[in-house]
Amino acid sequence: MFRKPIQWIVSSPPRILLLGFGATILIGAWLLSLPFASRDEYSISFLDALFTSTSAACVTGLSLFDTGAVWTTYGQWVILLLVQVGGIGFMTMATLFALILRRRISLKERLILQQSLNQGSIEGVVRLVRKVILYALAIELAGTLLYTARFMVDMNIGEALYQGMFHSISIFNNAGFNIVGGADSFAMYSDDLYMNMVTALLIILGGFGFVVLADLFDFKRRRNRKFSLHTKVVLTVSASLIVFGTVVIFIFEYSNMHSTGGSSIWEKALVAFFQSVTTRSGGVSTVDISELRQATQFFMVILMFIGASPGSTGGGIKTTTFAVLVAAVLTMMRGKEDVVLFRLRLAQERVYKAVTVTLFCIGIVMVGTMVLCTTEKAGFLTNMFEATSAFGTVGLSMGLTSQLTVAGKITIICLMFIGRLGPLTLTYALGPRTGRALYRHAEGKIIIG
């Protein structure tokens, strides 16, 4: 009776990834819906628990409540565990336990890992898993120590250590959950250079992707001392977007008295830099996003849509997709045929995939925005910002999250889930398996532009 459904599931790594991720979210929702997960004065429905679990597992950070005020220590630990599993990947965590138990990793498990880590082949995927876990834990430990040193100025060492660990794991995984208080709780650190730099560094490292981190950390060990094309593109695009974003936000908010208008030039630049970084999927903010100018908010929507890099803890269409699109446009404008990055030609299949991913993502965000415009009593830009933030697993909000209707919550849950898995993974998981075409159609011509 159940043989065909089970065969349908196990026949495709994307389906196993899809259902495993969904099961993780449901288990987290059940744990968060237990009475002792929230404080006595708050009543948490299963839908609210499901929303929080999805936001944590999808490392988004959109929250219906003040995480530090509503959830008990137990509830916060559940959220933190979901963030860790969601950021590193549940298949990566499962592989960790298999390696600890010295169990052999099967071919199917390697294929699922390949899909989970967004790799082109299964070669070296288990070795990459070991590096992923090692680098993630090392960076989170360093972040914990750096945060603890700062928090000890304001609280006792035990509380400082707990706060440091929570925020290090949350921010490195680009989740954006915080227990300081409020969506823009880091506003108290808006002019604190130390906190801004530590937080920005964790967001950037989490957004690079584990393949890039492995390439960076192994740089001195290699004989040729050269980065891969993927690493070069990620580093170049990431740096360009951060710098460009900082300049644009600095200009737009220079005279805005609700954000940085009354601050010094140094503070304006620091705030602009941090908001540029956090749109890469960070989810924490040092200013009230709803008080920014509409031009800034729309520009942040664009940055959130681009997002982080492949194989990272962030979402969006990814920096490499954006780079391929820009390179393809420039190639067409110059009248050339080959799309070239760093003197290396890209296969047409890469360009087609970049276009497909982008159009898929635009369509999903458009549908999500239209649904929110129907169900929520908010302006168009607010709804689009929320939809993009959810799909890009960013976690920034203009204040709509806490006011969502039941339909709005379900919409955001779906957007976060699709955004974390990726539209192509979802399509491969649910779509039929197709073989190689046995013939090609005759070529036709159509006028473009």
Q: Is the pLDDT of residue 6 over 70?
A: no
- Compute the distance between CA of residue 376 and CA of residue 19 in angstroms, rounded to an integer: 30
Is the pLDDT at 334 greater than 50? The verdict is: yes
Question: Which of the two residues, 97 and 301, has the higher pLDDT score?
Answer: 301
Domain that holds residue 51: 3-429
Q: How many domains does the chain have?
A: 1
Model confidence pLDDT, tens digit, residues 79-127: 999 998 888 765 565 555 555 555 565 555 555 555 555 555 555 566 7
Q: How confident is the model at residue 343 (pLDDT cuts 50, 70, 90)?
A: confident
> Which pLDDT score is estimated for 384?
96
- Which of 22-36, 57-71, 208-222, 276-290 shows the lowest mean pLDDT across its residues? 208-222
Domain annotation covers residue 437? no
Q: What angle do CA 295, 309, 162 make, to 5 degrees?
A: 90
Question: Residue 436: pLDDT above 80?
Answer: no
DSSP three-state, residue 106: coil
pLDDT of residue 9: 47
pLDDT given for residue 327 in this prediction:
92
* Residue 195, pLDDT above cutoff 60: yes
The answer as to whether 441 is a domain residue is no
Under 8 Å CB-to-CB from 420, ≥6 apart: which residues? 21, 57, 58, 59, 60, 86, 315, 393
Confidence of residue 406 (pLDDT cuts 50, 70, 90): very high
Q: Is residue 60 part of a domain?
A: yes
pLDDT value, residue 2: 45
Question: Is 277 inside any structural domain?
Answer: yes
Q: Is residue 51 part of a domain?
A: yes
Residues above pLDDT 70, as percent of the chain: 80
Q: Give the pLDDT mean for 144-156.
A: 91
What value does the mean pLDDT of the chain take?
82
Flag whether 384 is in a domain.
yes
Whole-number pLDDT of residue 275: 93
Angle at 296 between CA 294 and CA 302, to 5 degrees: 105
- Say if 385 falls within a structural domain: yes
pLDDT digits (tens, 9 = 90+) for 23-56: 889 999 999 999 888 887 788 899 999 999 999 9
Q: Is residue 420 included in any domain, yes or no?
A: yes
Q: Quick check: 235 pLDDT over 70?
A: yes
Measured CA to CA in angstroms, residue 176 lies from 58, 173, 213, 279, 285 at distances of 11, 8, 21, 11, 9
